[in-house]
Structures are given as C-alpha cells and as structure tokens.
Amino acid sequence: MPVSRRGVLAGAAVGGGLLVAWALMPRTFSTPLEPAEGETAFGAWLKIGIDGVVTVAVPQLEMGQGVTTILPQLVAVELGADWRQIAVEPAPVSGAYANVPLAAKWAPLWMPDATPGFVETGPEDLVARRFAEHTRFTATADGMSLDAYEQSSREAAAAARTMLAQAAAERWDVSWEECEAQAGFITHGDKRLRFAELAQEAAELDPPDPAPLRTKGAFETPVSGENDASTSFPRLDLPSKVDGTHIFAGDIRLPGMVFAGIRHGPFGKSELAKFEASKVQAIPGFVGLVEGKRWIAALAETWWAAERALDTVGARFRTVDPVDSTAIEQRLDEAIREEPGTRIAERGAGTTGLGEPDIALRYDIAPAIHAPLETATATAWLRDGTLELWMASQAPERAREAAARAIDLPVEKVVLYPMPAGGSFDRRLEHDHAIEVALIAREAERPVQLVWSRWQEALLAPPRAPAAAIVTAKLGPTGAVDILRTRIASAPAGLEFGERLFENTTSWGAIAASSGTPDPLMGEGAMPPYGVPNVGIDHVPVKTGLPAGRMRGNAHGYTAFVTESFIDEVAKRANREPLSYRIEMLGQDIRLVECLQRAARLAEWGGGGDGSGQGLACHRMGTADTGGRIACIATARRDEGGVRVGKLSAAVDIGRIVNLDIARQQIEGGLIFGLSLALGASTTYDRGIPARGRLGALNLPVLADCPDIEIEFVASDKAAFDPGELGVAVVAPAIANALFSATGLRLRRLPLLSGGL
C-alpha cells in the first residue's frame, strides 16, 4: 500500500518518537537567490548590483494585495536603501522561505490525526517549522506574509547593512558602529560610499549573529481626517499594471507555442463519454485534440480557434452523482435541525446551563464563487525530460508535485516560474490546471498555453461551501448575552481542501476522505469578540457532494454575518441601541470599542433607528493580543434594482501599519469584495451545472454601484496585522442591519435578497 508523506507524519505524531527525531534534525539550505553578473548575494533575501540596484526576493504570490511592495519595503527600511533603487525577484521554492505560521495554522490539514495542541499555532513550533522547511511550504494565504517573513527579511537586511558598514569602516579605519546606512550609502561624517562600491568586499565578511536590528521596522502613521494620505513607498508593481506591460501567465510566448482550450464535465465524478471530431479539421489554425479521462482539450494556433474547435466536437460527459442545489439545501436543513454537531471551540463553561434559550435564530449561506478576472492559465514546455511551468500559484511546490506526478517525472525535473495572478481570492491555491497543462504538453511535444474560459472557471472552481447556522442564547437581566451557542452545518471544506492540496486527491476522493469529520476551520471567526462568558461553537459536518475550497475571508465571511446579525437582533428585542449594546459587552477589547466609536463619528451614526438606513457591524480576526479589528457602518436602501449601498464608513485597527497606502487599498478592496458576496457572487447547481457562469450574471458591483468609502486607521504600536480580509467579513452584516433599519425586514440569507423578502 502506498504511504504518503502526510501519513508518515501523522503516524509519527501518534507514536511520538519518530516525529521527535525527525523534527530535531537540523535543516540547512543552499542560497536560493542566484546572483547575475555584476550582482552580489547577501543570503536568501537580497542582492546588490554594481549599478546600486537592491533586488529583494519575494516568496509569496502577488495577486493584487501588494506583497511585492510590502516585503521589499521591510528590507529597504532595515537596510537603509533608496526606494528608487529597489527591484523585486520572485523567489524560487525553497525551505529557506518556509511559511511556518501558515503551516502551524493549517496543521489539521496536513496532520489530521495528531492530538489537539500537538502543533502550536505559532512560528516557534518546531514541528510546524520542520514540516514547512522539509516540504518547501511557501503558500500565500490567510494574510500570513508579515507573520512569516518580516523577521527573517529584516534580519537579512540588518546583516547586510552591518557587513556593508564593516567594509566601509575598514577603508576609513573607523569603528563600524559609528557608520550609518541611509539612502543607499554608508556614511561617516562627511565621508560616504555607495552600497554598490562595498558589496563585493562586504559579502566576504562573516554575517553578524544576531543581526543588529534597527529599533523600529517599517511603519507609517495614519493622519486623522486624511483619507488619501500619501506614502513614501509607492507600489512597485503599479506603473507596469497601469501601462499594460505587467507580465501575467497569459502573456507568456514561446517558440512554436500552441494554445489550448478545454472542456470539463459537470461537478461530480464526470468522465468523457463521446465527441465528434470529423469536422474539426476544417477550422483554420486547428492543430489537434488531446483526450483526457475527464476532459478534452483542443490545440490551435490561437486560443479562439481552439475554442471554436471545442464547440465543434460537442463533447459529452457521463456524470455520477451530479451536484444539485435542492439536494444540498435539504441535506443542510436536515443536519442543522436534527444533528447536535461536535464542539470545535469553547469559552468558559460552554453551553452548560443554556436550557431553553431566550432566542434562537437561523441563517443560511449559499455557495460563493471566486470570479477572478484572470481565469486558470498556465504555460508548459516538456523538453529533454524537464517540464517547465509558467503559472500563478499560491502553493507553488504543491503545483510542482502535482504536475510531476501527472506525467511520472521526479519533482526535481519540474521547474515552475512564478507569475503574478490577475486576482485570485484563494482560487490559485488549487492546481488542477497545472496537472492538465502538463498532460497536454506531453502529448503536444511543444510549448502549450492552456487558458480556461470563463464558463469553465465557473463550472469547475470549488466555491466557498454553503452552510446553515443556528445561534441560540441565554440573556442576562440587562439583555446582555450570558450563554451563546453557534451550530454550523456545512461540508468539512477545510479538510477537503487539505486532501486536494497535500495529497493531490480528486475532488470526490477528498469529499470521501473528509466525510463526517468535524472541521475547526469552518468555525473561524464564530467565537465572538464580546465578553460573553460562556460560548460553544459546534460544527455539523455534512456531505453535500459539492467540492468546496478556500476563498478570501473564508469562514469569517459568513460567521461575522451570523454573529453580527444575531447581536443586532438581540439588541432590538432588548430595546437597546445597537452601538451602546455592543460597547457594553466589549469591556475587555478597548481597541474594538475605539473602532466602533470612530466609525460612528465618521458615519454620523444616528442610532440606527427605524428608517435611517444605517447598519452597524464589527469583527475581530486573530487573537485579542495580535488580531486586527474593524467596525463598519453601512448606509443602504432597497430600490427597484435591488439593494443600493450609498456609503461605507470603516474604522480599522491593524496594529503597526507598514504601508498606509496598501493598507487602505486592502481595506477598500475587501469592502468591495464583501459587497459582492453580500449581494451576489453566488450560483445554484442543477445536475452539476451552475445556473450562472458569466461575470455579468453574478450581480457583481460595477463602478456605478460602488458606494462612497471612508476609512480611518487607528495609530498603534501593536503587532502588525494583514488587513486583506477584514473588510470582507464585516460588510454583509452591516448591510443586512442597514436594510432592517430601512425596511423593517430581517434578511438572514447570503446573498441578501436571494431568498426574496
């Protein structure tokens, strides 16, 4: 029987001794950053050229979130470099760039049989570190880039700065501690030398251990009332994205390359049944067909010709257990009403003493689809026993492994050139197109670029899992919540995703492997920030048959909706004003209280009374010590076109702000993405076919629909928190509460109005 790496690790966790021995093994890595002619490398993070350009390695996927600016900014500030001379290079996969915090957080996915607490959710956990290093785990997800790489990139820059100063000090016969590094120069009094003049001799010195970090790392201070304050570190990728010269996966061109379109069967276990190839040869530019077990691809001199060929062949598929939305909703309904679930998180005495609750409400969540602008795209060239891949991937080593296994190559024979993504929202954590393009390239015997059509993206991309939730509470004498229980019925989508990512399992195999297993990731964000003394969060795993995946905001996107809608309803029943009611229960989280008060001032909160059209919501991601916080007030109404959101006012506390401009972009983008999830970005399925596949059918906000957005950041010296998903979580409940204020109707289903009024 084949034994997977994950199985060995999980077995070792249960047995103990083998894992300890494996975990304590030292790990060393060759320098992954290759200097070009005229460059000098300083460890794994930076190179300095004879032209003075400092090139910074970035081991994370740039998908619009600004990571190719944030990480170089950390290096530039610590090094004392001139921002105008900073360049970026995508880092090759290497254990030197292990994303340990994310590996720790995702431990239930790669070590599902380990006892709870065996892996700590922090960067100091040795088991997570060894796993991430050994498997070259550099995944980009869950806003972990700063947690994972700030310290190591700063240490590398500090070491380089010290070595440059030591080289200059030796020339000047002074103490290196008296030298300063700023704007790309080492200075001492009126003497100064460019980094480029010192790089080669500095690299021959021994790096300091420990590296002397500056007192403060990169940070910017928000100015109250300035919603568009400038930054000293403008985005490095912005000019090329504005003028159209930025290179994405679909822009790759290779000698003799052909283009491939593809057709898949419906959701479910589909197999290619038949197709008609007799007329396809007449299409100009047609090259050939590649037949897979579960798909068919056409090759042509242009992608449009490939698509025309696929329309001509009329592929038909045989599907076992096709996905059906009616059946999914029935399974969720039965599970949430009849099954108690498994406790995945608890505070205080849990739900002991709940008895007959004072209030119980149900909320339903439809599947949500990603709809990135760039569909799945990859280019492959198999030659001389080596497969080269050009693609955007949030988990590049897993994509390499999957492609290698597909065509029976050693993973060392797969070279992946990381490309930026034209949007992702976690869709690029999946590597299905890497497998397909590898198989197609093997048959084509020439370079191939595979591009999924918009319809194929909608057909086969695993959506955020549908869910049903019931919240029950026991209230105290003042109306405050004393006991809270949240039960969430959904597929164990996190574990299912882990099967696909770490074990390269098929979608139906992942469903079977995770079926019936409670999933702690499905309850993320359900533990309320309020000082409710007794809380229990339960997960009811449901086998829906619909493959589900990660999405921007993930479970926070619906748990915040459930909790904040519920809190608003409790406040109404207790005849309490929503803002003061929340503040009363937030005595232990003063930072979130400040966000609420600032948001109220921004929006000129009038109490959320009947007819005002104002709705309030707040949320915290992460721990009370290191998490990020947001409060949002939406102004909304219902009109002939559906829901009209006029304004979003948000106050945000993300601790120390590294780049104010990017932080604002992330919050604004998150709010708009959350708006799309609140009002659309969803579909139903009939016999495995989505009812809506085109962008125009998803009720996504267009420019005319975008509300006025006002954001205020709280200045803080707390740990920096990635703001990318905060806005996503808080929008839907704020809009739902605003619509109640405007109409008197409670909407307890996402997307809002999808269930009618």
| CATH of residue 488 | 3.30.365.10
Report yes or no on 19 lying in a domain.
yes
**Residue 171 resides in a domain:** yes
Q: Are residues 500 and 562 in the same domain?
A: yes
Please classify residue 93 by burial: count the beta carbons closer than 10 Å to its beta carbon, then call 0-12 exposed, 13-18 middle and 19+ buried: buried
Reported residue count of the chain is 757
- Number of Cβ atoms within 10 Å of the Cβ of 233: 20
Hey, what are 146's tokens? 């700063």
- Is residue 58 within 8 Å of 29, Cβ to Cβ? no
Task: Give the C-alpha separation, 679 to 701, whole Å.
Answer: 8
User: What φ, ψ does residue 398 adopt, rounded to 5°?
Assistant: -65, -35
Distances (CA, A) of 167 to 51, 79, 105: 18, 15, 42
> Average pLDDT for consecutive 10-residue bins of the chain (757 residues)?
42 38 52 90 95 97 97 97 96 94 94 68 78 96 95 96 98 97 97 97 95 93 72 92 95 98 94 94 96 97 98 95 95 97 97 95 97 97 98 98 98 97 97 98 97 96 97 95 98 97 95 96 97 98 96 97 98 95 95 98 92 95 93 91 90 96 96 97 95 92 93 95 96 97 95 74
What is the Cα–Cα distance from 525 to 352, expressed in whole angstroms? 21
Instruction: Check whether residue 35 and residue 71 sit in a common domain.
Output: yes
Interstrand relation of 534-541 and 481-490 (parallel, antiparallel or unpaired): parallel
* 29, 84: one domain: yes
Domain-located, residue 331? no
334 part of a folded domain? no
What is the DSSP secondary-structure string of 675-744?
Answer: HHHHH-SB--EETTEES--SGGGTT---GGGPPEEEEEEPP--SPP---TTHHHHHHHHHHHHHHHHHHS
Give the residue from 408, 448, 453 showing the smallest Cα distance to 288.
448
Phi, psi of 629 (to 5 degrees): -135, 150
Same domain, 362 and 379: no
pTM of the predicted structure, to 2 decimals: 0.94
Report which residue type is found at 490. S
| Helices then strands, each counted (H, E), the chain | 21, 28
3-state secondary structure of 325: helix
- Residue written as tokens 């505070």? 347
Cross-strand pairs, 691: none
Q: Long-range CB contacts (< 8 A, 24+ apart) of 165-168?
A: 166/202, 166/205, 167/198, 167/201, 167/202, 167/205, 168/193, 168/198
Q: Do 497 and 391 share a domain, yes or no?
A: no
Strand-pair partners of 633 = 616, 649
The pLDDT score that the predictor gives to residue 230 is 72
The answer to whether residue 186 is domain-embedded is: yes
Q: Which two tokens stand for residue 313?
A: 């062949």
Residues 6+ apart with CB under 8 A from 519: 108, 344, 490, 492, 493, 494, 495, 539, 541
Question: Using CA atoms, how far apart are residues 612 and 4, in angstroms rounded to an integer?
Answer: 58
d(Cα 75, Cα 42) in Å, to the nearest integer? 12
Q: Are residues 676 and 547 in the same domain?
A: yes
Question: Among 460, 484, 513, where does a domain finish?
Answer: 460
Residues 311 and 344 in one domain: no
What is the span of the domain harbouring residue 443?
Answer: 249-320+371-460
The answer to whether residue 452 sits within a structural domain is yes
Taking the C-alpha atoms of residue 137 and residue 90, their distance in angstroms, rounded to an integer, is: 15
What's the confidence (pLDDT) of residue 197? 97
439 part of a folded domain: yes
Cα distances (angstroms) measured from residue 751 to each of 38, 439, 471, 521, 642: 55, 38, 19, 21, 12
The reported pLDDT for the residue numbered 708 is 96
Bridge partners for 713 per DSSP: 652
And the tokens for 94?
A: 């290497």
Same domain, 425 and 517: no
End-to-end CA distance of the chain: 55
Number of domains in the chain: 3
Residues 691 and 729 in one domain: yes
Claim to verify: residue 132 and residue 195 sit in the same structural domain:
yes
Cα 147 off chain centre by = 14
654 contact partners, CB below 8 Å, separation of at least 6: 628, 629, 663, 713, 716, 720, 721, 722, 723, 726
Inside any domain, residue 273: yes
CA 8 to chain centre: 28
Q: Both 64 and 99 in a single domain?
A: yes
| C-beta of residue 547 within 8 angstroms of C-beta of residue 494 | no
Instruction: For residues 352 and 383, state if they share a domain.
Output: no
d(CA 676, CA 720) in angstroms, rounded, equals 27
CA dist 641 and 646 (Å) reads 14
How many of the other CB atoms lie within 10 Å of CB of 443?
17
Vertex 494, ends 489 and 500: CA angle to 5°? 130
Answer with the one of 149, 170, 203 that is the final residue of a domain.
203
Distance CA 80, CA 161 (A): 7
For residue 655, the number of C-alpha atoms closer than 13 Å in the C-beta half-sphere is 19
Half-sphere exposure of 299 (CA within 13 A, CB side): 22
| Cβ atoms < 10 Å from Cβ of 404 | 21
Strand partners, 380: 389, 448
Residue finishing a domain among 460, 487, 516: 460
